[in-house]
Amino acid sequence: MNEFQLTLANITAKRGTSVSDVAKRVGYDPLFFEKIVTGKSRQIPTDFFVRLANALNLTAGEKDALVRSWAFGVERWNWPQTSEHYPRLHVKRKAG
């Protein structure tokens, strides 16, 4: 499950609805909506997030989280997420 899918699933669970119900409410073809949610299609309509936010009555924080999960999903990053993977370099400091 990608980060966007997880974020959307958490929001819909809080609202007591399902992702398929949301697809019907926003007015997109269910297969098209599924491709967007699962990340199989990165080409989304310009009003996608507006329609989604309206259908779910999202707060500003929830909207931001949803857009961030789409745009900056951790699963697409190709570098380590923490600095634990890098050895620490000791720097010699000069006094004075």
- Say if CB 12 and CB 18 are below 8 A apart: yes
**Could you tell me which residue, 15 or 83, shows the higher pLDDT?**
15
CA distances to 2, 38, 40, 52, 65 from 6, rounded to whole Å, are 6, 10, 15, 15, 11
pTM, full prediction: 0.70
Pair of tokens at residue 27: 């007015």
| Helices 60-71 and 48-56, axial angle in degrees (round to 10) | 140
Q: What digits encode the pLDDT tens for the residues 81-96?
A: 455 555 656 667 777 6
- Say if CB 38 and CB 5 are below 8 A apart: yes
Domain boundaries, the chain: 3-76
Q: What digits encode the pLDDT tens for the residues 23-37?
A: 999 998 889 999 999
* CATH class given for the domain over 3-76: mainly alpha
